[in-house]
């Protein structure tokens, strides 16, 4: 192993392996390794400029711990060890190239997992397992990558994006590094050991936080690339991470209120009728969504004039009511679309390495456009700008199918402008959002926000509001959304939402579904974005045996009603209570959004984020903080009318309903009748939740 200091970078060379370790932001290091001729130069999620920081690099020559000749144990060769430090973090590299990361106190944060041979100075089984493995893929310049790190019994792991699982702590989990409908792989986590780690690689792979080792894999890539930071608190770690990947913009005012969606409002008249009814009933409404198949064909990116005869008048009337119009865009292009030929000829569509180029067959044979291609992003934005923004004043977009949702998810089949799908797929939703963000910004918009059904590391910088996809209307799915939202926040995506009541299913007349909807609505009031959605059953309002076609295009029904008044008067009374509560919370929400914009702090956050010194707070997975001062304990069990709530030590807590005070560091039982979600306010903060101030 040969070490050298190349400016601010520590370089390791061992035969064909080249390793770079360098400062990348305050208290942070970036590690890259390749067996190719040179590093690729791709920064992936690390898109923000970083300050020039002077690292401390030390290279020392020592006697090797192993004999030069096993037949002559007294003869030893000289070897080198090295250390690079940047503020609160240091990487120490031994003579074999094994890397250990420590904080400024000298405490081990994490270290590579090597099992090569028995050593004198540290235990190692002779398994011939490397911590860094770049295995050539025959006949290519690509590698199958595995990176291994030691496991620690005391470690807890939070973040990694959105997975439909029950556990908030991902220690013990195996996670696919790939996007799917309802799954967003955002490979950044915060460790209870005081560090944050970004797998800076958009390749398809897997991560396992095992009890014996932590292992990251990429099926195909050019190099290893990860970023690590040390921090004295989760907040400090998120601050450092967002500084190098980008911070979310300030949320527009309309984003903080109530959003109304359903499976689909089929016509202009349906949209306006719902908005007018909100006004008539005196209900606040900030956003209404024109969802999928409002278009002539997928890929045309324009209103169907038969259903939307005057979109400009619709947008104008809604805006006069104080309601923003959101329009759905899909990355699918129907072969019959007016844009298909031009996009295909210019190479703007995702390619197949083999077989047919049909990626989804639903209401038409479609191909996904290639969002990694700058020319594609420009073409799609210019088309949407002409047909929505310029023509009708639409300035907020719902970027659906952003994974993209291949049928099937055979990633070795597809190829992008940026490379094989196996190597670059996970960047797709970020690039998709980038096209609209940059287009809107160039058009002069400043309050930019896009609802996107997926995200990757760095998506937040493009004003992405991620939602959790087509989840089911079940209590299990409801419980899984809590950890999904918290995990997205810890992975650096502060704007997140779910479909209130779930998307797949839900009978408006069913009492059991009504209870689920009420509990979900109460919780959503304390999510970053408060948004009703769902297909609602039965799906069709006409004879399914005789579907409707117009010009050989299947027409999608509106589905069942999904408005506040659609579930009976008793439900409406409870929902409206939380609708007005959200309005009263606007000043607080605005301050929390400012904090996310300025520091990268999640909007909804695990209890330990604010109380890292409380060991018990790290174990709580069924309650959270909405901003710094409001503890939310959602009721996520059918029939429950009370629940236990842990109040973190280091603060006093006030029941938002009764005004009763509690010392932190204890479990309390909170009443939870159907119209109540338990809420506790921190340290006597003034918060007007129910129309009067309590202290």
What would the pLDDT profile of 316-369 be if each residue is shown by its tens digit?
A: 999 999 999 999 999 999 999 999 999 999 999 999 999 888 899 888 899 999
The two three-digit tokens of residue 540, written as one number: 């069709």
Q: How far apart are CA 37 and CA 646, in angstroms?
A: 55
CA gap 416, 654 in Å, rounded: 54
Residue 427: the pLDDT is 98
State residue 379's pLDDT score.
98
For residue 687, what pLDDT band results from cuts at 50, 70 and 90?
confident
| Residue, of 125 and 263, whose pLDDT is higher | 263
Percent of the chain whose predicted confidence (pLDDT) is above 70: 95
Q: Are 146 and 177 in contact (CB under 8 A)?
A: no
- Per DSSP, the three-state class of 332 is strand
In the residue annotation, 470 being an active-site residue is answered as yes
pLDDT tens digits, 78-116: 789 999 999 999 999 999 999 999 999 999 999 999 987
The pLDDT score that the predictor gives to residue 353 is 94
CB atoms within 10 A of CB 205: 26
pLDDT of residue 118: 47
Question: Average of pLDDT values for 522-539?
Answer: 94
Q: Calculate mean pLDDT across residues 295-311.
A: 97
Query: Does residue 646 register a pLDDT over 90?
Result: yes
C-beta separation of 466 from 495 below 8 A: yes
Structure tokens at 347: 């190479």
pTM, rounded to two decimals: 0.96
pLDDT at 689: 83
CA distances from 140 to 36, 54, 64, 222, 553 (A): 11, 38, 36, 10, 44
Mean pLDDT of 538-542: 63
* 192: CB partners within 8 A, 6+ apart: 154, 155, 156, 157, 158, 608, 618
Mean pLDDT of 462-467: 98
What integer is the mean pLDDT of 387-391? 98
pLDDT for 552 equals 78
Q: What is the DSSP letter of 390?
A: I
Using DSSP's 3-state secondary structure scheme, residue 96 falls into coil
What is the average pLDDT score of the chain? 94
Tally Cβ neighbours within 10 Å of residue 641.
11
Place of tokens 């503020």: 87
pLDDT digits (tens, 9 = 90+) for 182-234: 999 999 999 999 999 999 999 999 999 999 999 999 999 999 999 999 999 99
Q: Which of 253, 470, 572, 616 is catalytic?
A: 470
Q: Give tens-digit pLDDT for 465-514.
A: 999 999 999 999 999 999 999 999 999 999 999 999 999 999 999 999 99
Report the alpha-carbon distance of residue 249 to residue 594 in Å, rounded.
Answer: 9
Question: What is the average per-residue pLDDT within 606-628?
Answer: 98
Which residue in 95, 155, 400, 655 is the catalytic one?
A: 400
Q: Computed over its alpha carbons, how large is the radius of gyration of the chain?
A: 27
**Side-chain-side CA neighbours of residue 289 (13 Å):** 27
Average pLDDT of the residues in 135-161: 97
Eight-class DSSP state of 386: I
Which band of pLDDT confidence, cut at 50, 70 and 90, is reported for residue 695?
very low
Mean pLDDT of 591-614: 98
**pLDDT at position 168, please?**
98
Give the pLDDT band (50/70/90) at residue 72. low
Would you say 521 and 567 are in contact if contact means Cβ atoms under 8 Å apart? no
The pLDDT of residue 302 is above 60:
yes
pLDDT tens for each residue of 598-609: 999 999 999 999
Task: Over range 666-692, report the average pLDDT.
Answer: 90
State yes or no: pLDDT of 46 exceeds 80: yes
Q: What letter does residue 388 receive in the DSSP assignment?
A: I
Local confidence band at 382 (pLDDT 50, 70, 90 cut-offs): very high
* Helix 586-599 vs helix 234-245: crossing angle, to nearest 10: 70
Residues 6 or more apart in contact with residue 390 via CB below 8 angstroms = none
Strand order in the sheet with 630-632: 604-605, 624-626, 630-632, 679-682, 652-655, 661-663
**Confidence bin at 64 (pLDDT 50/70/90):** low
Euclidean distance between CA atoms 210 and 216, whole angstroms: 11
The structural domains of the chain, ordered by start, are 2-245 (2.60.40.1760), 253-331+373-405+425-598 (3.20.20.80), 606-682 (2.60.40.1180)
- What's the Cα-to-Cα distance from 101 to each of 89, 107, 143, 550, rounded to whole Å? 7, 8, 25, 63
Q: Does pLDDT of 270 surpass 90? A: yes
Q: What span, in angstroms and rounded, lies between the C-alpha atoms of 227 and 217?
A: 16
Q: What proportion of the chain, given as a percentage, has pLDDT over 90?
A: 88
pLDDT for the residue 124: 62
Which of these is catalytic: 215, 238, 291, 403? 403
550 pLDDT tier (thresholds 50, 70, 90): confident
Q: Please tell me the predicted confidence (pLDDT) of residue 543.
A: 54
Out of 112-121, 305-314, 549-558, give the one with best mean pLDDT.
305-314
pLDDT number for residue 356: 83
Q: Is 403 an active-site residue?
A: yes
């Amino acid at each position: 192993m040969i070490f050298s200091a190349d400016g601010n970078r520590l370089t390791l060379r061992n035969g064909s392996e080249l390793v770079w370790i360098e400062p990348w932001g305050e208290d942070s290091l970036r590690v890259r390794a390749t067996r190719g001729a040179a590093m690729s130069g791709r920064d992936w999620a690390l898109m923000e400029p970083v300050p020039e920081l002077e690292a401390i690099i030390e290279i020392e020559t020592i006697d090797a711990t192993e004999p030069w000749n096993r037949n002559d144990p007294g003869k030893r060769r000289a070897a080198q060890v090295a250390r690079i430090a940047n503020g609160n973090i240091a990487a120490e590299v031994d003579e074999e190239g094994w890397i250990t990361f420590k904080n400024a106190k000298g405490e081990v944060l994490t270290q590579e997992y090597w099992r090569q041979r028995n050593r004198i100075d540290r235990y190692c089984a002779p398994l011939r397992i490397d911590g860094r493995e770049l295995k050539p893929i025959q006949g290519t310049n690509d590698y199958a990558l595995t990176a291994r790190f030691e496991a620690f019994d005391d470690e807890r792991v939070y973040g990694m994006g959105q997975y439909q699982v029950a556990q908030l702590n991902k220690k013990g989990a195996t996670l696919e590094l790939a996007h799917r409908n309802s799954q967003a792989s955002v490979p950044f986590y915060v460790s209870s050991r005081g560090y944050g780690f970004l797998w800076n690689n958009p390749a398809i792979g897997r991560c396992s936080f095992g009890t014996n080792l932590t292992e990251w894999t990429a099926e195909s890539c050019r190099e290893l690339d990860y970023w690590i930071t040390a921090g004295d608190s989760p907040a400090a770690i998120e601050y450092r991470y967002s500084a190098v990947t980008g911070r979310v913009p300030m949320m527009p005012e309309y984003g903080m209120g109530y959003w109304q969606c359903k499976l689909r409002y089929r016509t202009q008249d349906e949209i306006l009728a719902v908005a007018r009814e909100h006004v008539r009933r005196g209900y606040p409404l900030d956003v209404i969504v024109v969802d999928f198949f409002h278009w002539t064909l997928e890929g045309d990116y324009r209103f169907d004039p038969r259903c939307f005869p005057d979109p400009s008048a619709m947008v104008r009337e809604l805006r006069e009511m104080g309601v923003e119009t959101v329009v759905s865009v899909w990355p699918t292009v129907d072969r019959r679309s007016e844009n298909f030929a031009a996009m295909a000829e210019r190479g703007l569509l995702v390619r197949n390495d083999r077989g047919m180029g049909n990626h989804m067959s639903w209401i038409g044979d479609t191909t996904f456009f290639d969002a990694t291609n700058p020319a594609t992003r420009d073409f799609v934005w210019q088309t949407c700008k002409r047909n929505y923004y310029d023509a009708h004043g639409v300035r907020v977009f719902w970027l659906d199918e952003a994974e993209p949702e291949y049928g099937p998810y055979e990633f070795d089949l597809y190829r992008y402008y940026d490379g094989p799908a196996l190597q670059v797929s996970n960047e797709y939703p970020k690039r998709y959002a980038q096209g609209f963000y940059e287009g809107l910004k160039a058009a002069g918009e400043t309050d930019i926000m896009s609802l996107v059904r997926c995200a990757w590391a760095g998506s937040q910088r493009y004003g992405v509001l991620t939602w959790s996809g087509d989840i089911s209307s079940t209590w299990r799915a409801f419980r899984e959304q809590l950890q999904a939202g918290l995990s997205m926040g810890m992975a650096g995506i502060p704007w997140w939402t779910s479909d209130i009541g779930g998307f797949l299913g839900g009978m408006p007349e069913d009492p059991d579904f009504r209870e689920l909807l009420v509990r979900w609505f109460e919780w959503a009031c304390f999510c970053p974005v408060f948004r009703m959605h769902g297909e609602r059953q039965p799906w069709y309002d006409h004879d399914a045996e005789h579907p409707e076609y117009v010009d050989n295009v299947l027409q999608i029904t509106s589905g069942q009603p999904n408005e506040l008044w659609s579930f009976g008067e008793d439900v409406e009374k409870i929902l409206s209570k939380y609708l007005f509560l959200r309005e009263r919370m606007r000043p607080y929400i605005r301050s929390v959004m400012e904090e996310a914009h300025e520091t990268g702090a999640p909007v909804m956050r695990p209890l330990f984020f604010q109380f890292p010194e409380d060991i018990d707070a790290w174990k709580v997975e069924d309650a959270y903080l909405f901003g710094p001062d409001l503890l939310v304990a959602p009721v996520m069990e059918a029939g429950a009318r009370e629940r236990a709530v842990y109040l973190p030590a280091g603060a006093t807590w006030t029941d938002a309903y009764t005004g009763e005070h509690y010392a932190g560091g204890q479990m309390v039982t909170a009443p939870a009748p159907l119209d109540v979600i338990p809420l506790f306010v921190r340290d006597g903060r003034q918060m007007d939740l129910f129309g009067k101030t309590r202290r």
